[in-house]
Amino acid sequence: MGVSVQRILVGYLISLVFGIGLGLLVGRFKFLDETVGSLMVGLQVLPSICWLPLAILWFGLSEAAIQFVVIMGALLSIAIATDSGVKNIAPLYLRAARTMGISGIDLYTRVVLPAALPSVASGMKLGWSFAWRSLMAGELLFVSVGLGHLLQTGRELNDMAQVVAVMIVIVCVGLFFDQLVFARLERHLRRLWGTA
């Protein structure tokens, strides 16, 4: 379980940084929206396990291949949610910020990102679930230490108890992180935005 959690944390944090950055850029620049934006939506419908053969060709049978699958599983949903949040910011906020002299990176850190935060949080939660599923699929198909591999071993040994136990652990880990991180974040944002 420790190996799987370590993999998901590394892959998820990488996809979080790049997904939010990509979503902010696509949401603010029309050229990127017309080119990269439609590509993001198109690639999102691709099941994340489809990235595994490409990852194995690029990185070989290595840890980097699984990390790539996890990153691709989460990155697009985070980027699309961030893009949607940026596009739904009231233009009045941006005009008011510019009138007060806010521009450049300050515009992003003080106006755009805080205004898009509810959508970003939804994308983070979706990204987490996609990353977790991608990790389990990658570990099932690629022989390595982790919960997915333990599940595969139980199947090969016809050990129904092991298979069910590992499935329960997978669900519990997913729920634990959802309650520990994302439920608290959503409650905080609802209080902050006055919707709680």
Query: pLDDT tens across 35-57, in order?
Result: 888 888 888 888 877 888 888 88
Evaluate whether residue 101 is within a structural domain.
yes
In a domain, 149, yes or no: no
Answer yes or no: pTM beyond 0.85: no
**C-alpha span between 7 and 23 (Å, rounded):** 23
Distance, CA of 67 to CA of 131 (rounded, Å): 10
Number of domains in the chain: 1
Report if residue 122 sits inside a domain: yes
Q: How far is Cα 6 from Cα 136, in angstroms, rounded to an integer?
A: 13
Is 155 among the domain residues?
no
- Determine the structural domain holding residue 72 and report its residue range: 2-144
- Whether residue 19 contacts residue 76, with contact meaning beta carbons closer than 8 Å, is answered with yes
In a domain, 180, yes or no: no
DSSP assigned state of 19: H
Within a domain: 66: yes
Closest CA to 185 of 118, 126, 132: 118
Q: Give the torsion through C-alpha atoms of 7, 11, 16, 17, to 10 deg.
A: 120
- The CATH number given to whatever domain includes residue 90 is 1.10.3720.10
pLDDT digits (tens, 9 = 90+) for 117-155: 888 888 888 888 888 888 888 777 766 677 777 777 777
* 189 has a pLDDT exceeding 80: no
13-17, 117-121, 170-174, 187-191: segment of lowest average pLDDT: 187-191
For 60, left (φ over 0), alpha (ψ -120 to 50), or beta?
Answer: left
Chain Cα centroid distance, residue 96:
32
Question: Cβ–Cβ contacts within 10 Å for residue 177, how many?
Answer: 19
- Is 196 part of a structural domain of the chain? no
Whether residue 14 is predicted with pLDDT greater than 80 in this model: the reply is yes
